[in-house]
Amino acid sequence: MTQVLDLVGIFVFALSGALVGVRRRLDVVGMAVLASVTALGGGILRDLILNVRPAAFFSVGYVVVPLAATVIVFFWHPHVQRVMPVVNVFDAAGLGLFCAVGTEKALVAGLSPLHSVLLGVTTAVGGGVLRDMLSGQIPVLLYDRQFYAVPAMLGSAVMAVLYVLDLHGWTATLAAAVLAFGLRIAAVRFRLRAPLARGVTAPD
Amino acid sequence: MTQVLDLVGIFVFALSGALVGVRRRLDVVGMAVLASVTALGGGILRDLILNVRPAAFFSVGYVVVPLAATVIVFFWHPHVQRVMPVVNVFDAAGLGLFCAVGTEKALVAGLSPLHSVLLGVTTAVGGGVLRDMLSGQIPVLLYDRQFYAVPAMLGSAVMAVLYVLDLHGWTATLAAAVLAFGLRIAAVRFRLRAPLARGVTAPD
Amino acid sequence: MTQVLDLVGIFVFALSGALVGVRRRLDVVGMAVLASVTALGGGILRDLILNVRPAAFFSVGYVVVPLAATVIVFFWHPHVQRVMPVVNVFDAAGLGLFCAVGTEKALVAGLSPLHSVLLGVTTAVGGGVLRDMLSGQIPVLLYDRQFYAVPAMLGSAVMAVLYVLDLHGWTATLAAAVLAFGLRIAAVRFRLRAPLARGVTAPD
């Protein structure tokens, strides 16, 4: 169950990476690199910090799914663009799942709740940040004022609290993931905006 | 003692990161990311290379201090800008301390003096390089011809020599840090400039 | 034998990094950083993922050779530019060697053939990607439609097949390296071009 959700998250993140590749007119190699980095980058960062071999280098699905997403975007990107609202919903689901799973792995590995939350957020947003760095842009996360990291942080925090209360298992993980997902959807729906430093006006 | 100095270094590096965030009109999330990456990035790189879990994911101070710097810059950045000359002096102190501590950790972990110097310099400059990469600029370190890496290298070299001579302890670390600090201040004071390749003229 | 080839690969990759530094008018520090990162970045990524201490932090040659390349480019870059066609041939040799050695190290460390190929390609192209990210450009690998990653992938795949067939040793490594080298040279010679996503036209 969690595994299927995990691969769905990988797939959707990979779609977003491959689409950035199309938009920047990269070739098929660039698309595959962006798809893989977006989907796997956060988890690889997490595992490097936990000092274990990255899961992406053990699972077959983690290699194949981003390549499948690349092929789909390569041939049918106008259609994928058209269903982007749906993709965005799945992206929010991936965000929720990745922050919950990342936080749990960190807690199991013995990190404190505080640091587990930090690592959960890193897992959830790391791939997107690397995608933007590779495609020559300031990471969207840093400036677009949408709440993306904050829902991940709250989901991670709930995961950490449940874990400390000894409420383990996939139901706890799913609860935290659903919370982050809901918050992300709500933030988009109600156009919540992260503040700029006092006196700073938004660019344009 | 070293711990307090360490947190001061973290704080000052975080201030510089958050200020770059303001200058680039990032939102509060972007400011916090830049502050944390600037302050912790070099040490995280160092620990990844030494194949140990990054200290930033164990210490509470390492998480809280960058966030505190973000809050200060968020509300009072014009004031922080005004005291930038002071911040730059502290930045030089952070540079000195980070290169000395980084070199020492590498030596203790069994690296050769040569490689310990390399890792010490990486610790000192890595955070700033990551900050600039994240904010969409060529790292200042690579082009601005100010002596920033060179003082760190000399401080690291002195640290390594002292260590090989069996002069351990915080006095040795502090001596190396003060040397790098002094060289950095002197480089700024006397406007020393790193050379460009033969026949290359400076941009503008 | 392999060691000499390895250092030749390091040297040539470092030349290319230092030359990018000249072209972007970086100072000598920037040149040295780009040279080192280009030459060592792929191998460091590989070793981090394999969860071992990066070889670059144990070998003296790995530190000295990039600095030597920096000095040469610093004083004689017009001459180095003039012999670039030769340098490009060596770069193809470095590509071949790095993908073969990287794949082999991954296989020895217990990764599956599929993941070993992925890591071999990462070893071969990682340094160049980091070089471009540091110098403020979209990595050439992602958009220039030249076959660079694909020869590395095929060389890595041959290495993996030979290894699975129990054909170890430096002859196998060399065979895979020569194959990737030949494919890369052929791709340049016959101007093979990686495709763009359907309906996308090349920039300019």
- Compute the distance between CA of residue A79 and CA of residue A65 in angstroms, rounded to an integer: 19
Residue C174, token pair as written in the block: 């060399």
* Res B162 pLDDT > 90: yes
Radius of gyration of the CA atoms of chain C, in A: 17
**Which tens digits make up the pLDDT trace of A127-147?**
999 999 999 899 989 988 888
What would the two tokens of residue A26 be? 């990269």
- The per-residue DSSP string of A121-141 comes to HHHHHHHHHHHHHHTTS--HH
ipTM of the predicted structure? 0.91
Terminal CA-CA length for chain B: 45
* pLDDT above 70 (res B1): no
Q: Is B26 in contact with A202 (Cβ distance < 8 A)?
A: no
Nearest chain A residue (CA) to C110:
A58
- Lookup result for tokens 């792995």: A105
Report, as an integer, the average pLDDT of C127-145. 92
Q: Return d(Cα A94, Cα C186) in angstroms, integer.
A: 42
Q: Would you call A25 and C143 a contact, using CB atoms and an 8 Å cutoff?
A: yes
Query: Considering only CB atoms, which chain B residues are within 8 Å of A44?
Result: none
Residues in chain C with CB shorter than 8 Å from the CB of A30 are 139, 141-143
DSSP at A196: B
In this predicted structure, the answer to whether residue A1 has a pLDDT above a threshold of 80 is: no
CA dihedral (B74, B78, B79, B83) positive or negative? positive
CB contact set of A182 (below 8 Å; sequence gap of 6+): none
Q: Do C112 and A28 touch (CB under 8 A)?
A: no
Mean pLDDT of B6-12: 89
The Cβ of residue A76 has, within 10 Å, a number of other Cβ atoms equal to: 14
Which among A143, A193, A197 is the nearest to B77, CB-wise? A197
On the CB side of C61, how many CA atoms lie within 13 Å of its CA?
10
Of A198, A126, A184, A195, the residue nearest B27 (C-alpha): A195
- Whether residue A22 and residue C197 make contact (CB cut-off 8 A), yes or no, is yes
Q: Among A30, A31, A51, select the one facing C51 at the smallest CB separation.
A: A51
Structure tokens at B24: 């680039």
- CB contact under 8 Å between C142 and A51, yes or no, is no
Torsion of CA A135, A136, A142, A146, to 10 degrees: -50
| Residue of C47, C196, C201 best to disrupt the A interface, most CBs of A under 10 A | C196
Q: Which of B50, B148, B200 sits opposite C25 (nearest CB)?
A: B200
Is the CA virtual torsion C111, C116, C118, C123 positive or negative?
positive
Cite the DSSP H helix spans in chain C. Answer: 2-23, 28-49, 61-82, 84-108, 113-134, 140-143, 149-164, 169-189
Interface of B with C (CB under 8 A): 48-51, 111-112, 114-115, 118-119, 129, 133, 137-139, 141-145, 148-150, 193-203
Q: How far apart are CA A171 and CA A159, in angstroms?
A: 10
Which chains are adjacent to chain C, needing at least 3 Cβ pairs under 8 Å? A, B
| Contact criterion met (CB below 8 Å) for A80 and A15 | yes
Rounded mean pLDDT of B68-84?
90
Question: Percentage of chain A surpassing pLDDT 70?
Answer: 99
Chain A CB contacts of B33 below 8 Å: 139, 141-142, 149
- Structural contact between residues C42 and C98, judged by C-beta atoms closer than 8 angstroms: yes
* Chain A interface mutation, best of C47, C53, C115, C130, highest count of A Cβ atoms under 10 Å: C115
Subunits with 3+ Cβ pairs within 8 Å of B are A, C
For residues A151 and A192, the answer to whether their CB atoms sit within 8 Å is: no
Cβ separation B29–A197 shorter than 8 A: no
Confidence grade of residue C204 (pLDDT, cut at 50, 70, 90):
low
Higher pLDDT, A47 or C85: A47
Token pair 């709440």 is found at A147
User: Locate tokens 């309906």: which residue?
Assistant: C199
Mean pLDDT of C90-113: 93
Query: Which of C51, C103, C142, C154 would you mutate first to test chain A, the one with the most A CBs within 10 A?
Result: C142
- pLDDT confidence tier of residue C201, bands split at 50, 70 and 90: confident
Cα separation, A120 vs A150, in Å, equals 12
Q: Which chains touch A (3 or more CB pairs under 8 A)?
A: B, C
List residues of B whose CB lies inside 8 A of any A CB: 21-22, 24-31, 33-34, 44, 48, 51-54, 57-58, 60, 63, 73-78, 133-136
| pLDDT, position A199 | 82
Task: Give percent above pLDDT 70 in chain C.
Answer: 99
Distance separating alpha carbons of residues A30 and C142, to the nearest angstrom? 4
Residue of C nearest to A26 (CA): C143
Indicate the residue of B25, B63, B75 with minimum beta-carbon distance to A143.
B25
pLDDT of residue B46: 96
Chain B CB contacts of C26 below 8 Å: 138, 142-143, 196
Beta bridge partners of B27: A196
Task: Inform me whether the pLDDT recorded for A48 exceeds 90.
Answer: yes
Residue with the larger pLDDT of the pair C97 and C87: C97
Q: Compare CB distances from B22 to A48, A119, A197 and report the shortest one's residue.
A: A197
DSSP state of C57: G
**pLDDT of A33 above 80:** yes
Report the C-alpha gap between C204 and C195 in whole angstroms. Answer: 15
User: For A138, which residue in chain C has the nearest alpha carbon?
Assistant: C136
Confidence tier at C28 by pLDDT (50, 70, 90): very high
- The 3-state secondary structure of A138-180 reads CCHHHHCCCCCHHHHHHHHHHHHHHHHCCCCHHHHHHHHHHHH
Task: Please name the residue of chain A whose CA is at the shortest distance from the CA of residue C139.
Answer: A134
Is the pLDDT score of B204 beyond 70?
Answer: no
Mean of the per-residue pLDDT values of chain C: 92
**pLDDT confidence of residue C105:** 93
- Residue C47 and residue A145: Cα distance in Å, rounded? 36
Which tokens sit at B140? 């200042």
pLDDT at A107: 95
Q: Which residues contact A43 (CB under 8 A, 6 or more apart)?
A: A54, A55, A56, A98, A102, A123, A126, A127
For chain A, the first-to-last Cα distance in angstroms comes to 45
Hey, what long-range contacts does A164-171 have (CB within 8 A, 24 or more apart)? A164/A113, A170/A1, A170/A2
Mean pLDDT across C49-54? 95
Q: Looking at the partner chain, which of C28, C44, C134 has a beta carbon nearest the beta carbon of B133?
A: C134
CB C76 within 8 A of CB C25: no
Residue-wise pLDDT for C137-177, tens only, equals 999 899 888 889 999 999 999 999 999 999 878 889 999 99
Average pLDDT of C66-84?
91
Chain C nearest CA to A188, separation (Å): 30
- The angle subtended at Cα C91 by Cα C86 and Cα C93, nearest 5°, is 100
Q: What is the pLDDT of residue B83?
A: 82
Per-chain mean pLDDT for chain A? 92
The pLDDT of B172-187, averaged and rounded, is: 94
Q: How confident is the model over B119-149, as pLDDT tens digits?
A: 999 999 999 999 999 998 999 899 888 889 9
Over residues A67-125, the pLDDT tens digits come to 999 999 999 988 888 887 887 888 898 899 999 999 999 999 999 999 999 999 999 99
Taking residue A201's Cβ as centre, other Cβ atoms within 10 Å add up to 7
Centroid of chain to Cα C71: 21
- pLDDT score of A118: 96
Residue of C nearest to B198 (CA): C75
Return the pLDDT at B21. 92
Geometric angle at alpha carbon C50, from C44 and C56, rounded to 5°: 25
Q: Between B26 and A199, where is the model more confident?
A: B26
User: Which residue in B has a C-alpha nearest to residue A47's C-alpha?
Assistant: B53
Residues of B with Cβ-Cβ distance to C76 under 8 angstroms: 198
Indicate the residue type of A1. M
> Can you say whether residue B166 is alpha, beta or left, with left for phi > 0 and alpha for psi between -120 and 50 degrees?
left
**Distance from C-alpha of B161 to C-alpha of B117, rounded to nearest angstrom:** 10
